[in-house]
Structure formats: C-alpha cells, structure tokens
Chains A and B, each alone.
Chain A
Amino acid sequence: MKTTCKEIRKQILHIAKESGHGHIPTCFSIVEILCAVYSTLRHDPRDPLWEKRDLFILSKGHGALAHYCVLGRWGYFDPERVHALGAFRSDFGCHADRFKIPGIEASTGSLGHGIGLAVGMALALKIDRSERRVMTLIGDGEANEGSVWEALLVAANLGLPNLTVIYDDNRSHSRGLQILNPAEKLRAFGCEVTEADGHDVEALKAALRHRGKYMQAIVARTCKGCGCPTFVGSPYEWHRRSPNDDEYRMLLEELDAQAV
C-alpha cells in the first residue's frame, strides 16, 4: 500500500503541475486516509450506485484531486481523465460534482456541509434498519465552522453508530482558529474516538473497521504536504500553487526519497 500511496502522490503532483490546479499539501495529507476508506467501504467501482454500498463524503471538498486519483486507482474511471482538472468542459473540477464523477456521493466545496449530509444519510439508514454505513472526512480547519459541531450534537442525539467522522488533524488551523485536543472535544460531543497515525493505512483500516455503540470519530494525525519536505516546511505557500518544471523535478526526488 505504501507504493500505491506514493504513486498516488506522484499522480497528484503531476496533474497539479500540468493543470495548474489542485491543493497539493491538503491532498498529500489525506492519501492514506482515502486509501484506507476505499479498502474498508463496501462498494463496487463497476456499479457506483450499488444499492448496498456504504457511503463516503469528502466534506473537505478541496481535497478533490486526491479523491479523484484514489477513485481512479480503484477503477471508478480512467485515471488519465483527471489530467483535465479544472479545464472548461472537464468533468473534474477543483471541487467535485456528483453528477459528473462516479463514486462521488455529494458535491462539496463550501466547508461544514458534508457532515450534516452524512448525518441525514446515516439517519435514513437507521430508519431503514440497514447495515450500510456512512463515512465523512472533515478537516481541522473546516472544524472552525459551527455547522460541524451543530451536526455532531444532532448526530449524538439521534444515536448513529453507523456514522464515522474522520478528522484530518493536519494542523492547518494553526494560523487561524486553533482547535486544541480535538479527540477530547469530539468525545465531549458524543463520539467514540480513536486516534491513529493518519499516514498508516493499516492502522486507519483497523480503526475504520471498528463498529461500536455510538457514532465514531477517528482523529487522524496527519502532516500537511506529507511526502515532500518542501510542502511540509511551507504548506501555506503551496496551499493552492502548482510547481514549475524545476520545482516538479525536485518534489519528485523528495517523494522518491521518502519512506512514505
């Protein structure tokens, strides 16, 4: 899986360079999380609307490029199509459109929406007494939004053990409104919390497989830009920037030199 994740990062980097789009450090932060999600979800890439599938919503919608690359890797579509990222008439925008991309359950972009949708979907499955489950990935910066915590309050009240909230704790909030000790806060809001290394696919898979009595939150300790020291050292400079040819070569070398 480590090789897969490295290849996905190279693909993200390549598409970002070619297209001039993509939030690379954000995408690098969630590669292992997405691989763990699609290794755990009950889903069928040949039948994206399979009625027994589990649901995943990328609430931090600006990670769309990573999501595309992982979906492509899992066979939802030809990964080559993602190279048109952000182009006029391309199906692949910097935030995903569920009507254009197989495997995308909800169009997201404005932060703080995916979790409320996920609560509604999980409630629907509870009413139907279905075994299906819902996962959503939120960012720590996104957790500045009040709607995140409002949705958690409602979810706790509804009792939704079929809901898993993955919290990408890449400390991107550090220059804005800080959220210290998210595990404690999520626990206080009614979640059964697991903390995991967000770049360890096996650890994440083990956490995702867990089914408890309450809604679950996984605090994934991640590193914004993981894989390239250049991004890690200066994630804000690279938040929405694409590399030129020289930078691209250097970043590829950095990726090759990394253990993950």
Chain B
Amino acid sequence: MRRQFKNTVMDLALHEDRIVMILGDVSVYLFKDFQEKYPNRFYNMGISENTLISVGAGLSAMGFYPFVHTIAPFITERSYEQIKLDMCYNRFGGNIVSCGASFDYAWDGATHHAYTDLAILRLLPGMEVIQPGSTRELDILLRSQYNNGNPTYFRLSDHPHHVDVPVEFGRGVALKDTGAAVTVMTAGPLLGNVLEACRDLPVNLVYFHTLKPIDTELIRRFRDTRTVVVHDAFGLKEAVCEVPDLRVVFHGMQDAFCASYGTLHDIRRQLGLDPAGIREFVSGVVQRCGPYHQEGKIFL
C-alpha cells in the first residue's frame, strides 16, 4: 500500500505544485523519485513527530498540501495534541499518512502496535479518518481528499485485501444484504478474513473504508438486525454506535496490551480475528439470533 501511496502522490504532483512531502525518517528510499524531481518539496525531518505535524500545519496555513508520513502510533498518539490544536483547532488541515497499521509490525511488540489511532482521531472536530483496505481504495481516496483543506488521516497497511468494492469518501458498502438477522460490519484490510469467514453464513455484510464521517444512513438500514462489529482496532465500533438504539456486539480488541510478537497473522489468530475465529464468533451470534430477521427472535 505504501508503493501505491508513492505512485498516487507522484501522479498528483505532475499537475499540483503545492504538494510537500514531510517524512519522519520512514519511506525515504521509496520516495527518492519524488525527492529527485521536487527537491524543494521533499523533507525528511527525522524522528520528530510533534514537529512533523506542526510544520505540516504551518505549510497548510500558507496554502500548501502537506503529506506527513511516519509510523502510526508515533504520529498519532505521540503527536495527538499537535493534530488537535495545530491542524484541527486552527483549521490548518493536511494529510497524515501512517504505516504500521494495527499489528503490521507485530514482531516489534506493543510499542509499535497501533490500534487506538482511528478511535482517538475520530474524536477531533473536523478530522477525516480513512482506513483504506486495498490499494485501489487508497488511490481513489487520496485523490479525492488530499487538497480539501481538512485534516485527513490515511492509515496504510502492509496487508491489503484484494476485494473490489465501490469507493466513495464517506460511503460504506453493503456487500451482502440478504435480510439476515445478523449484520457483520468491518473496515479496512480485515475484510479479506471477514469475507472468508462469513462466505456461507446467513449474515448481511457491511464494509467501511471511511470511519469519519461514518455512513450513518447505511447503518440505519440494518438497525433492526443484530450488529456484529469485527475489527482489529478501536474506532469502528464507536463510529457505528453513532446511530442510536443499535444492538451491537464487538469482536476484536480487548482492554489489554498485546504482549506477543510474531506476525500479523499470529496476532490475528490470538485475537480470534483469523477466518476461523471470526467464523466461530459470528456463527455463535447467528445461532442465538436465527438466520433471518423476525421481530422477537433476537436474544443476544
């Protein structure tokens, strides 16, 4: 997905001379083409996440479109106040593009895991929060949002799904709408596992790449069903619950650090977010609710 990020930015830069790349000593080699072609708009500012955001806001104040890029937990959690005040409160918007989503850097341990970013950024007024699941989603959403003046968070993953879904900022997608009593909602790259897990289960399936603004109209369509949010981060469940009176259960993160290393797949398995784990959880909900929606048949 990082390569797609670079390709899209290179393409945009052909016709846009207000793009500035600000790297936190990450993806520097990847962006060498940009650096060679636009040396006065490429800056590796080192490991200084607070300043990366403030400088991005300052550039935005002067009419540039900054892309601030480094590792997810550091640019979001460490620089939260800079995002809140310099970008959001001052309305000096810009693009924050992170890598290392959820457990992409599983082997690096809990310091490098990133699963609160989506949830905390959703809380900031004016912030747009995007979790592209595929390279195509990233490409389309970058092009549509990069220069709108708002602070926008793009969360890149090294493990994109390969499902072709309609992509429009702020719009979710009903991938399956069969009148089932249970609706599974997910977001981002985990869609691959969710689709595999639910392929032959009697559930509706709703997918999001934009977590803020969340597509409340789409969620309302399924408000009479039991909603199962399956996600490898915090933030989607909270977004879905913007629609009142939903009956929602969450399958994913727990209130605990993940102390394991290994790979993304190891951690997903540990959390029950591999296809088998998701299937087991969703099947349990389906068993209790029945396959098809009827008044009075939802017990969970």
Residues on A facing B (Cβ under 8 Å) = 98-99, 105-107, 109-110, 112-113, 115-125, 127-128, 146-147, 150-151, 153-154, 157-158
Contacts and interface: CB of A to CB of B under 8 A. Distances in A.
A124 B86 contact: no
Given A124-B58, A127-B41, A154-B45, 9 more contacts: A105-B61, A112-B50, A113-B54, A117-B54, A120-B54, A120-B55, A121-B59, A127-B20, A158-B43
**Prevailing SS type, chain A contact patch:** helix
24 contacts: A98-B90, A106-B90, A109-B85, A110-B81, A112-B50, A116-B54, A117-B57, A117-B61, A119-B55, A120-B57, A120-B62, A121-B58, A123-B58, A124-B61, A127-B20, A127-B40, A146-B50, A147-B82, A151-B51, A153-B51, A154-B45, A157-B46, A158-B43, A158-B45
A109 B66 CA distance: 24
Given A113-B85, A158-B43, A124 B50 contact: no
B56 to A, nearest CB: 6
Interface string B111-151: 00000000000000000000000000000000000000000
A177 B51 CA distance: 22
B90 A120 contact: no
Nearest to B64: A124
A81 to B, nearest CB: 22
Given A106-B61, A147-B51, A117 B86 contact: yes
Contacts of B284: none
Interface in B143-179: none
B62 A107 contact: no
A154 B56 CA distance: 12
Kindly state the interface size class of chain B when it binds its partner.
20 to 34
B82 to A, nearest CB: 7
A99 B91 CA distance: 10
Contact of B85 (A110, A120, A146, A158): A110
Given A110-B81, A153-B48, A125 B62 contact: yes
B222 to A, nearest CB: 39
Interface in B52-85: 53-64, 66, 81-82, 85
A49 to B, nearest CB: 12
Contacts of B51: 116, 119, 147, 150-151, 153-154
Contact of A113 (B43, B63, B82, B91): B82
Contacts of B103: none
A105 B20 CA distance: 21
A249 B158 CA distance: 68
B261 interface: no
Contacts of A117: 54-55, 57-58, 61, 86, 90, 92
B55 A154 contact: yes
Residue from B53, B56, B62, B66 with most neighbouring chain A CB atoms (10 Å): B62
Contacts of B55: 116-117, 119-120, 123, 151, 154
A116 B60 CA distance: 13
B54 A123 contact: no
Contacts of A116: 50-51, 53-55, 57-58, 82, 86
A115 B86 CA distance: 11
Nearest to A112: B50
B58 A127 contact: no
Contacts of A115: 54
Contact of A119 (B46, B58, B66, B89): B58
Nearest to B41: A127
B150 to A, nearest CB: 16
Contacts of B82: 113, 116, 147
Contacts of B62: 120-121, 124-125, 128
Residue from A98, A123, A153 with most neighbouring chain B CB atoms (10 Å): A123
Contacts of B81: 110, 113
A118 B59 CA distance: 9
B89 A120 contact: no
B57 A123 contact: no
A147 B54 CA distance: 10
Given A116-B82, A151-B51, A124 B45 contact: no
Contacts of B58: 116-124
A121 B61 contact: yes
Nearest to A125: B62
A119 B54 contact: yes
A105 B58 CA distance: 10
Contacts of B63: 124
Contacts of B86: 106, 113, 116-117
Contacts of A99: 91
A154 B45 CA distance: 6
Given A110-B85, A113-B85, A147-B54, A120 B59 contact: yes
A120 B48 CA distance: 13
